[in-house]
């Protein structure tokens, strides 16, 4: 059945107003026009919607049952219209983000706290190991990743962050500002599992230096790694912010500081690609505000 939303609007307005006169005034139409439209709707539906009661109108039982459906359809139509206007304007009402766990805790959550009323509603999920392209294909508007995104995606280097060696405050290294991979090779290390980016970077630095690990404990979560280090079970090597009173030390590899790069990636064909690029710029600026000029990405 072809349904004219305008007729439903007349029906709902009349039901709310209680009289045809008040409904016509609220709709800015004459009463004869309103009555004609209501009769047309009754004809299309095959239902009697109103019965006269004095000067007012009373909903029939059928109309009472139909009214919630009419309201729901009108609300959905309004939602669709607003979504179309948002898309046509290159805007976002909701922002679907895919982010690694550490980045979500240390960078993205604090950034989201700065968003204003005019910004889209952020909906966040943890990034799967498959990376940026898989996240975008799965429905993310913006993916924050630690590996260079493929050239098929638009991307922005957000920050260059250090990989940290975390020791307890009573550790002999606590007074130092940095250690070398050769130093780390002599200690028991608390490491993330090999598929995680901080571990891959440390593995690469060890390989470049011709070194191997002597003793390691592997965990799957950066905060757990710090907790294990705080318990005195080794030096934790992760990229997240310090916890449990641990002291962070920079790590030097054969090619210089061991660092992790943080990227934002999105589909260049996205209807709000320009807005996503602006959001990535804001996130990059937030990283500098949070961690200092040393993390600023080269342009």
CB-based contacts of 99, cutoff 8 Å, min separation 6: 108, 124, 125, 126, 127, 143, 144
Instruction: Determine what percent of the chain falls in helix, strand and coil, rounding each to the nearest 5.
Output: 45, 25, 35
- The DSSP string of 150-175 is PTTSEEEEEEEEE-EEEE-TTSTTTT
Measure the CA dihedral 215/186/100/156, to 10°: -150
Report the C-alpha gap between 100 and 73 in whole angstroms. 39
Report the C-alpha gap between 243 and 230 in whole angstroms. 9
pLDDT in tens, 182-191: 999 999 999 9
pLDDT in tens, 66-92: 888 888 887 777 666 655 555 555 556
pLDDT in tens, 258-276: 999 999 999 898 888 888 8
Q: What is the pTM of this model?
A: 0.67
Domain boundaries, the chain: 5-88, 107-154+262-295, 164-257
Select from 67, 18, 75 the least CA-distant residue to 41. 67
CATH hierarchy code of domain 5-88? 1.10.10.10
Question: Whole-number mean pLDDT of the chain?
Answer: 86
Could you tell me what percent of the chain has a pLDDT over 90?
Answer: 40
Task: Give me the CATH topology for the region 164-257.
Answer: D-Maltodextrin-Binding Protein; domain 2 (3.40.190)
23 close to 10: Cβ distance less than 8 angstroms: yes
């Amino acid at each position: 059945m072809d349904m004219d939303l305008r007729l439903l609007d007349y029906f709902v307005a009349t039901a709310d107003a209680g009289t045809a006169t008040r409904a016509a005034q609220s709709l800015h139409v004459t009463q004869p026009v309103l009555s004609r439209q209501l009769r047309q709707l009754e004809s299309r539906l095959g239902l009697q919607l109103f019965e006269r009661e004095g000067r007012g109108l009373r909903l029939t039982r059928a109309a009472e049952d139909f009214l919630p459906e009419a309201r729901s359809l009108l609300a959905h139509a309004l939602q669709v219209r607003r979504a179309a206007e948002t898309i046509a304007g290159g805007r976002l009402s909701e922002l679907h983000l895919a982010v690694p766990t550490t980045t979500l805790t240390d960078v993205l959550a604090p950034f989201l706290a700065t968003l204003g009323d005019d910004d889209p509603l952020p909906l966040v999920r943890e990034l799967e190991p498959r990376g940026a392209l898989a996240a975008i294909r799965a429905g993310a508007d913006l993916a924050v990743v630690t590996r260079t995104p493929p050239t098929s995606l638009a991307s922005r280097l957000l920050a260059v962050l250090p990989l940290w060696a975390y020791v307890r405050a009573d550790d002999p290294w606590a007074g130092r500002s940095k250690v070398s991979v050769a130093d780390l090779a002599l200690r028991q290390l608390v490491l993330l599992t090999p598929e995680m980016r901080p571990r891959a970077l440390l593995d690469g630095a060890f390989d470049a230096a011709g070194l191997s690990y002597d003793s390691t404990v592997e965990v799957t979560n950066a905060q757990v790694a710090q907790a294990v280090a705080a318990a005195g079970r080794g030096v934790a090597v992760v990229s997240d912010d310090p916890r449990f009173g641990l002291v962070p030390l920079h790590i030097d590899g054969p090619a210089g500081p061991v660092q992790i790069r943080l990227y934002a990636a999105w589909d260049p064909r996205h209807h709000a690609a320009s807005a996503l690029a602006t959001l990535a710029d804001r996130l990059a600026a937030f990283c500098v505000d949070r961690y200092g000029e040393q993390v600023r990405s080269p342009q």
